[in-house]
Amino acid sequence: MVKKQKKAKPRWVVPAGIEPTEMDIKILEAQAQGKLVPRPRLIKTEKQIEGIRKAGLLNTAVLDHVAENIREGMSTLEIDKLVYDFTTKHGGIPAPLNYEGFPNSCCTSVNDVVCHGIPCDWEILEEGDIINVDCTTIVDGFYADASRMFVIGRASEEDQKLVDVAWECLKIGEKVCEKPYVFVGDIGNAIAKHAHKNGFTVVRDYCGHGVGNKFHEEPDVEHYGKPGTGMLLVPGMVFTIEPMINMGDYYVCSDEEDETGWIALTEDGLPSAQWEHTYVMTENGVEILTH
Report DSSP letters for 59-124, one per residue.
Answer: HHHHHHHHHHH--TT-BHHHHHHHHHHHHHHTT-EETTTTGGG--SSSEEEETTEEE-PPP-SS-B
Pairing of strands 142-151, 182-183: unpaired
Cα–Cα dist 219/88, whole Å: 29
Cα–Cα dist 56/142, whole Å: 9
CA atoms within 13 A on the CB side of 220: 10
Q: Whole-model pTM?
A: 0.95
Write down the pLDDT at residue 8: 59
Write down the pLDDT at residue 154: 96
What are residue 268's phi and psi, to 5 degrees?
A: -95, 0
How many residues are present in the chain?
Answer: 291
Three-class DSSP category at 280: strand
- Return the closest-CA partner of residue 145 out of 288, 284, 281: 288
Specify the amino acid at residue 67: A
Write down the pLDDT at residue 7: 53
Specify the amino acid at residue 290: T
Over residues 202-212, the pLDDT tens digits come to: 999 999 999 99
* Surface-to-core class of residue 41, CB atoms within 10 Å of its CB (0-12 exposed, 13-18 middle, 19+ buried): exposed
Write down the pLDDT at residue 5: 45
Write down the pLDDT at residue 291: 86
Write down the pLDDT at residue 9: 74
Which regions of the chain are under pLDDT 70?
1-8
Over residues 177-190, the pLDDT tens digits come to: 999 999 999 999 99
Write down the pLDDT at residue 1: 41
Write down the pLDDT at residue 100: 96
- Where do the domains of the chain lie, and which CATH numbers do they carry? 39-288 (3.90.230.10)
- Return the closest-CA partner of residue 113 out of 266, 246, 257: 266
